[in-house]
Amino acid sequence: MSKQQPAWEKAREGFVAQWGSLGTQWGINRTMAQIHALLMTAPQPMCTDEVMEKLQISRGNAHTNLKELVAWNLVRIITHKGDRKEYFEAEKDVWKIFITITRERKRREIEPAIRLLRDCAAQTKDETSGPGREFNQQMKDLDEFLSFGVKVGDTVIAMKHASALQWAMRLLG
């Protein structure tokens, strides 16, 4: 007679699957998001073999995505004396996860976009009329908007969790 799966494990499987789907909307691949969800909800650090078995993925896929999660600072490598395997542990503090993802997306996506906008504005700064002038102004407006968003984001991630929640409640209330 087979042992029935505990309710939390069944719920966890649904969470891992859904987190994977959401990850694709956030700009990361499904497997990377699923591994993150799996590790974030794991009671203990997991080795690559355990991740592969739980998600039914190849070693290469697991290895590549685990390395990327470590590079994003969302997952840490844990070693045990006398054990050659590496184990992986995800950050579980939701505020720290938010801060880490926000900083990483800023570095990978927003900062290059701002550099592009500024470069386009610089290339067209001498345009005095017509479409060239309109393009230059649009680049400046987009730069101003994104730069403002970065300042707001930097302010929020510099706050302690409780202070950020209080600020957001005042803003939304």
pLDDT 10s digit of each residue in the chain, 173 long?
557 888 999 999 999 999 998 888 877 899 999 999 999 999 999 999 999 999 999 999 999 999 999 999 999 999 989 999 999 999 999 888 888 888 888 998 999 999 999 999 999 999 999 999 999 999 999 999 999 999 988 988 888 877 877 877 787 87
* pLDDT value, residue 6: 86
Whether residue 89 contacts residue 75, with contact meaning beta carbons closer than 8 Å, is answered with yes
Whether residue 102 contacts residue 77, with contact meaning beta carbons closer than 8 Å, is answered with no
* pLDDT value, residue 26: 77
* pLDDT value, residue 2: 57
Question: How many angstroms separate the CA atoms of 35 and 23, rounded?
Answer: 11
For 44, which DSSP code?
A: S
